[in-house]
Structure 1
Amino acid sequence: MAVDPIQTLPPPRSATDFFSDPLDFHPLWFKPDLFLSPNFDSDSYISELRTFVPFDTLRSELQAHLTSLNHELIDLINRDYADFVNLSTKLVDVDSAVVRMRAPLLELREKIEGFRGSVKSSLVALKNGLEQRSEAAATREVLELLLDTFHVVSKNWNVVLLIGRCHFWDECVLYSEKGARSWKRLELEFIMKGIVEKLIKELPSVPADWSNGDVNSTEKNAASNGSIENGTNVRETQSMLLERIASEMNRLKFYIAHAQNLPFIQNMEKRIQGASLLLDASLGHCFVDGLEHRDENAIYNCLRAYAAIDNTSSAEEIFRTTIVAPLIQKIIPHGPSGGVVGASGDGLENDYQEIKKCIEKDCKFLLEISSAENSGLHVFDFLANSILKEVLSAIKKGKPGAFSPGRPTEFLINYKSSLDFLGHLEGYCPSRSAVTKFRAEAIYIEFMKQWNVGVYFSLRFQEIAGALDSALATTSLVPVHNSPSGNGSSQDLTLKQSVTLLESLRSCWREDFLILSCSDKFLRLTLQLLSRFSNWLSSGLAARKTGNTGSNSGYEWAASAVPNDFLYVCVVS
C-alpha cells in the first residue's frame, strides 16, 4: 500500500527547535553507530550505561532515536516512490535480452574449460617431469656417493696395505744392510704403486756406487748412521700420511652411513673392515714408535688421526700399556694374574710420590700435547683412562688390602693420599671444564667407589662410642687421680667418665680420625656423645633420689657414691 507523501510529512519545527539543540542531537554517551556493529549485544550495552545513565534517560533517548529513524525511513520511501511505481513498466523484453547474453557466455565457458584442461595436462606433465628429475638427481647423488666410496676405499686400502706390508721404518734398515739394489727394488715398488712418491723424495739420498764392491765398510756404516738419524723425518712423514688416511676413513664412514643399505656398500663391507684393521695396526705401530722416541710431531699427527676416526680409546690404551704400565709395575709390583709380587705392606703414600715423579718425567710430554690450546685433541683423557686406570689396576692386584677399611688407621692414610694424588692429576687439567670432565669419567667414579668410607665411619663410631659406654658402665665414680690411666693433661676434669667424654669428643675431630666427606656424621656423633653423658648423669641422680638403684639397674654408681663424690658430679655438671 502506497504511503501518501502529504500525510507523512513531519510536523513543522517550533522556534525552540531552531534556536536550541536540533532534534537529532544526542548526548556524548549515546552513540548510534554501535547499533550497526555485527557484535552488538543489547544486554552488555545496557549494563555498561547503567552505571552512569538513569534508565528513564536511556529510555527517552532510545525512543527519540527510534522516532528519528522512522522519519528517515519515510523520507527515503517518498524520495524514490515514483521510480518504484514505474519499475514494472520499464522492464520490457527481458527474456530476449537474456537469450542474447547466454550464447557468448556459453562460448566463453567452453573456452575456459578447454583452457583449464590444457593447463591441467601441462601441470601433470610438469609434475611428472619434476619427479623424474628429482629421482634422477637422487640416483646421481647415490652414484656419486658410491663412486666416492669406492675411490676412498681403494685409496685407503692401497696405502694402508702398503704401509702394513712394507713397514717403511723397517725398510730403512733394509736400505742400510743390503745396499742400493734392495733400495732400488723398494723404490720401484713404491713408484709402481703410485701412492707415496712424497715419501721417496724425502728419504735420504743413496750413494750410486754402493753396488760397487770397492766401497769400504766405513762409508757404508756412516751412511747407515745417517739413515738412522733421519728416522725422525720418516716417522713424521708416516704419521702425516696416516693422518690423511684417517681423514679419508672418516669421510668413508660418512658415505657408508648415508648408503649403508645399498648392495654395493654391503659387498664392500669386508674390504672396508680390512682397511680399517690395517689402519688401526699401522697407526698403533707408528704411535708406539713415536712414544718410544718422544717424537712430538709424530705423536701429534697420530693423535689427530685417532681423533679423526673416533678411536680415542685405542690411543689411551696404547699409552697405558706402552708407557704407564711398565712404570707402575716397577713401583707396585704385581703378577699378570693378580698375584702380589714382593709387596711389603699396603701403604700407598710412598707409591704415590714415586708415581708423581714418573708422571712428571715420562708422561707430562704427552699430556701437554693433548691439552694444547686449539689442538683439537681435548677428546683424549689420558689422565683417567691411561694413568688412573693403570694405577687402580695395580693397586687391586698388588695391594688389595689398601682399600680395606678393616684397619681404619691405614685406610685413612691411604684414602687421604689417594685424594692428594687425584688433586695432583687434576693439576694437569688446563681448565675447570677439563677438571669436571676428569671427575665425570667412569674410571674416576670407580676409583672413588673403592673407598668405603661408610664402613670406616661405622668402625670409628664403635671405637669412640664404645669407649664412652665402657667408662659409663662402671659401678662407681672414679676420680682421675685414682685412675691408673690418669695423666696431667686431663687434670682440669675430675672424673674418669668426664675425661673419657672429652677424649671421645676430641677423637671425632682429630686429623687421624676425621674424613671431611663424613663431617656431618662426626658432628652427629659428637652431639650423641654429649646426649649420652647428660642422660647418664641425670638418670643416675634421679635414680638415687627415688631409691631405684638396684644391682641391674645400671645406676649402681649413684648408690655407691658417697656425698663427697657428688661434689665431683656437681663440678662436672
Structure 2
Amino acid sequence: MAMDLFGEAIDAHPPWLNPPTFLSNSFDPQHYISDLRSFVPLESLRWELKSHLSSLKVELIDLINRDYSDFVSLSTKLVDVEGSVVRMRAPLLEIKEMILGFREALQDSLLSLENRLDQRTQANRAREVLEILLDTFHVVSKVEKLIKELPSVPVDWSNGHMSIKKDSQLSNGINFQHGENGTNLRETQSMLLERIASEMNRLKFYITLAKDMPFIENMERRIQSASLLLDTSLGHCLGDALDHRDESAIYNCLRAYAAIDNTKSAEEIFRSTVVRPLIQKVIPSSSSGGMNEASEDELELDYKVIKRYIEDDCKFLLEISSKENSGLHVFSFLANSILKEVLFAIQKRKPGAFSSGRPTKFLKNYKSSLEFLTHLEGYCTSRSAVARFRAEDVYIEFMRQWNVGVYFKLRFQEIAGALDSALVVATLEPILNTPSDNTQGLILQQSLSLMQCLRSCWKDDILVVSCSDKFLRLTLQLLARYSNWLSTGLAARKTGDSGVSQGCEWAISASPDDLIYIVHDLNSLVIEVTGTYLGDVIELLKSCPKEVIDLVKASILEGGNSLKDALPPVINSIVDTLVVKSVEDLKHMKGITATYRMTNKPLPVRHSPYVTGVLRPLKVFVEGDRATNYLPSDTRDQLVHRAATEITDRYHELAADLVSVARRTESSLLKIRKGAQRRTGTSTDVSDNNVSDTDKICMQLFLDIQEYARNLSLLGVEAADIPAYRSLWQCVAPPDRQSKISY
C-alpha cells in the first residue's frame, strides 16, 4: 500500500468514517447517517462508503484465492448424502410410531381417570346431600321432640314457679332438680325455647342447601307445624315474661326470636302486651264529654303521661335489648312497638292533631311530637342506634303526618296578608296610641305592621325550624314589599297619576310633613332590622353551620340596605314639593317689569314684597313640630341645603330670563326712538338722569336677592356657597358691586 510523507496509507479513510462501528450489534444506519450529515456532505459520505465497499470486495476475493484448495475440496467430500438420509429415516419413523402409541395409551388412561373423578365428585355430592337430608331429618325430629317437652312441664303461671318432683329430668337433658332452689319456670321454659330456636335456625340453613328436593317437600308440613308451635310457645312465654317482668326469661325469648330472625313478632307482642294498654289509658277510644274538641286534639299532656309510662313500664325491656354484646340490637322496640302504637292511637282517636288547618294547634302538637321523639332517642345507647331509629319506616311515617308545607302556606298568607292589608290603605295612618310592642318608636301603622310581621316570622309560636329557609325568604319578601310600596307610591306622586297601582293614593295626598313620618320610620326600621332583629334571628339559628349563619346575616343586611336605599327618594319628594310651593311666589317677579317699564318711577330702595314668601314654605316646614321632633339634624340640614339650592336655581333662571327680556325690549325701543329722532330732527334723553328701565329692574332684583340671601342665612344656608346665587349676583348686581357678595 502506498505511503505518504508521514508514513500513513494514502487511501486511508477519513477520521469521521470508522468502519469497525459497522460490526457493532447496536449499529443503527439511520442514526449514523443523521449524525454525520450535520458536518459531512452526503456526496462525500456516499463516495467514502462506495470506496469502503470496493475494498471489502477486494479483501473477500483475496481470502478465497488464498484458501481456494480448501474451498474446492468442500464439495468433493459430500458423497452418498441421499443414502445417509434413507438410513436415518427408518429409525426416526419407528420412534414416531412408538410416541403415537404411547400418546393414545396416555389419553385413554387420562379419560378413565377423569371419569372416575367425576363419579367420585358425584358420589361426594350425593353423600353431602344425603348428610344434609339426614341432618335435616334429625333436626326436625329433635325440634319436634323438644316441642313435645314443652307441654309436659308442669306450669303454675299464677306464681311463675314450677313445682316438680325431685331429680326429675326431661329427655332433652335439662335437669329440673332446681325446684327446691326456687328456679323460675319461665326461665327454664325460655331456655328450652331458645334451644329450639337455634335448632330451627339450623334447620332453615339445611333447607336452603337442599331446597326443591322431594324429601324436603315431603317434610314441609312437619317443618311448618314445628315452626308454628315454636312461634306460639315463644309468644306465650314472652308475653307471660313481660307480664311478670322476668328479665332472664325475656332475654332468652328475645335471643330465640333473633335466632329465627322473627324480630317483628317480638316487637308486636311487646306492643300488644305492654304498650297498647298504656296508650289506651292515655288516649282512650272515646273522649269524655267534659272535654271540648280543641283540647281533645292536644298532645302535649298525653306525651307527658306516655313518657312517664315508658319510664315505668317499658324501660326495663329497652335496657335488656340494648345490652352490649347481647346480639339483641336487631330489635327496634322504640319504633315498632312504642312509636307505632302512639301513631296508631293518634290517627284513630285524635286525627285532628295532624290537621294544619289550625296552625297554632298544629304547631304546638308538632313541637310536642318532636320533643317526644327526642325523648325516645334518649333511650338509644349510641349515635348509630339513633340513626337506625330515624331510618325506621314507622319514624318516617310519623314525620310524614306533619305537613309543615301546608302549615307554612297558611302562615305565609296570614303574615303577608296582614302587611298587604296595612299597605293598601289610601292614607298614611299615624299611630295615636302607641302599642306595647312598638319598641322601635315607629309612627306609621304601615311601618309598625311591617315590624310586627317580621317579628312574627321568627316567633316561637310560629317558627318551624325545619322551614327556616322559607321563613327567611318570607322575611326578605316582606322587606321588599314595603320598599316596593314606597317606591311605587313616590313614583306615582312624581307623575301625579294615582291610577298607576293600587295602594299609591297615600303618596298623592301626603304632605311634606307626612313624609317626615316615613323618613323617621325608615331610619328606625334600618336600625332595628340590622341590629336587634338580626341578632335575635342569629340566636335562633345558632345551631346551624357557620356558612348558613353567614348567608342569613348577609341576606337580612341586604334587606335592611334596601330600606336605607328608600330614604333618598323620600327626601327628594319632600324637596320637590317644597320647591314647587316656593316657586309659586317667584312668579310675582314678573310684576317688576310692569312696575318700571315705560314709567318715571325712581330707582328702588327696598326689596319686593314677594321675596319674604319665597322661603316661607321651607321655613315653616323646617321649624314645624314634626321636623323638629322626628327629623335627624343631619337629614334636616341636608334637606334645607338641597331645597335652597334648587329654589335658587329656579330663582336664577327666572331672573336671568327677566333681565334678558328687559334688555332686548330696551334695545328695540332705543332703536325705534333713534329712528324717530332722525325723522323729526330732535334729541331727548332715554330716561331721567340717564337711568334706564333695565337698570331699575336689575336694581330691584338686586335688592330682592339681598333680602333672599338674608332669609337663607336665617335657615343656616350661606347664599354665597350656592353656585346659582353667585351667577344671579353677577347677573343683577351693579358694576361696582360685582366683585364681592354682601347683603
TM-score, normalised relative to structure 1: 0.81
- Counterpart-to-counterpart distance in 2, 1:556 and 1:307: 76
- 1:5 maps to which residue? none
Matches within 5 A, 1:228-239: 230=183, 232=184, 234-239=185-190
- Counterpart-to-counterpart distance in 1, 2:70 and 2:345: 116
- 1:161 maps to which residue? 148
- Counterpart-to-counterpart distance in 1, 2:70 and 2:380: 100
Structure 2 residue identity aligned to 1:56: V
Q: Counterpart of 1:480 in 2: which secondary structure?
A: coil
Residues 221-247 of structure 1: CA deviation (Å, up to 9, x unaligned): xxxxx8xx54x2x22222122111111
- Give the drift of 1:461: 0.6
1:266 aligns with 2:253: no
1:354 aligns with 2:305: yes
The answer on whether the counterparts of 1:149 and 1:252 sit within 8 Å (CA) in structure 2 is yes
- Counterpart-to-counterpart distance in 2, 1:444 and 1:340: 26
- 2:369 maps to which residue? 418
Q: Indicate which of 70, 76, 94 corresponds to 1:107.
A: 94
The answer on whether the counterparts of 1:286 and 1:302 sit within 8 Å (CA) in structure 2 is yes
Cα distance change, pair 517–552 in 1 and its aligned pair in 2 (3 A): closer
- 1:546 maps to which residue? 495
Q: Indicate which of 212, 215, 230 corresponds to 1:279.
A: 230
- 1:132 maps to which residue? 119
Matches within 5 A, 1:19-38: 25=18, 32-35=24-27
The answer on whether the counterparts of 1:256 and 1:265 sit within 8 Å (CA) in structure 2 is yes
Q: Counterpart of 1:477 in 2: which secondary structure?
A: coil
Cα distance change, pair 428–104 in 1 and its aligned pair in 2 (3 A): same
- 1:492 maps to which residue? 441
The answer on whether the counterparts of 1:392 and 1:447 sit within 8 Å (CA) in structure 2 is yes
- Counterpart-to-counterpart distance in 2, 1:356 and 1:125: 77
The answer on whether the counterparts of 1:468 and 1:504 sit within 8 Å (CA) in structure 2 is yes
- Counterpart-to-counterpart distance in 2, 1:434 and 1:298: 24
- 2:82 maps to which residue? 95
The answer on whether the counterparts of 2:299 and 2:368 sit within 8 Å (CA) in structure 1 is yes
Cα distance change, pair 167–387 in 1 and its aligned pair in 2 (3 A): farther
Q: Counterpart of 1:290 in 2: which secondary structure?
A: helix
- Give the drift of 1:372: 1.1
- Give the drift of 1:282: 1.0
- Counterpart-to-counterpart distance in 2, 1:66 and 1:123: 66
Cα distance change, pair 410–292 in 1 and its aligned pair in 2 (3 A): same
- Give the drift of 1:173: 8.8
Cα distance change, pair 434–57 in 1 and its aligned pair in 2 (3 A): farther
Q: Counterpart of 2:463 in 1: which secondary structure?
A: coil
- Give the drift of 1:85: 3.0
- 2:470 maps to which residue? 521
Q: Where has structure 1 moved over 6 Å in runs of 4 or more?
A: 17-24, 171-177
Cα distance change, pair 65–548 in 1 and its aligned pair in 2 (3 A): same
1:451 aligns with 2:402: yes
- 1:409 maps to which residue? 360
- Counterpart-to-counterpart distance in 2, 1:201 and 1:440: 47
- Counterpart-to-counterpart distance in 2, 1:525 and 1:347: 28
- 1:215 maps to which residue? none
- 2:105 maps to which residue? 118
- Give the drift of 1:16: 3.9
- Give the drift of 1:457: 0.6
1:505 aligns with 2:492: no
- Give the drift of 1:86: 2.6
- Give the drift of 1:346: 1.2
- 1:54 maps to which residue? 38
- Counterpart-to-counterpart distance in 1, 2:399 and 2:198: 38
Q: Indicate which of 394, 397, 406 corresponds to 2:348.
A: 397
Structure 2 residue identity aligned to 1:119: L
Q: Counterpart of 2:438 in 1: which secondary structure?
A: helix
- Give the drift of 1:349: 1.2
- Give the drift of 1:298: 1.4
Give the unaligned 5+ runs of structure 2. Answer: 523-743
Matches within 5 A, 1:56-455: 56=40, 78=63, 82-163=69-150, 165-166=151-152, 168-170=154-156, 194-195=171-172, 197-204=173-180, 230=183, 232=184, 234-334=185-285, 344-455=295-406
Q: Counterpart of 2:296 in 1: which secondary structure?
A: coil
- Counterpart-to-counterpart distance in 1, 2:317 and 2:43: 97
- Counterpart-to-counterpart distance in 2, 1:373 and 1:176: 31
Identity %: 59
Structure 2 residue identity aligned to 1:492: G
The answer on whether the counterparts of 2:160 and 2:186 sit within 8 Å (CA) in structure 1 is no
The answer on whether the counterparts of 2:488 and 2:501 sit within 8 Å (CA) in structure 1 is no
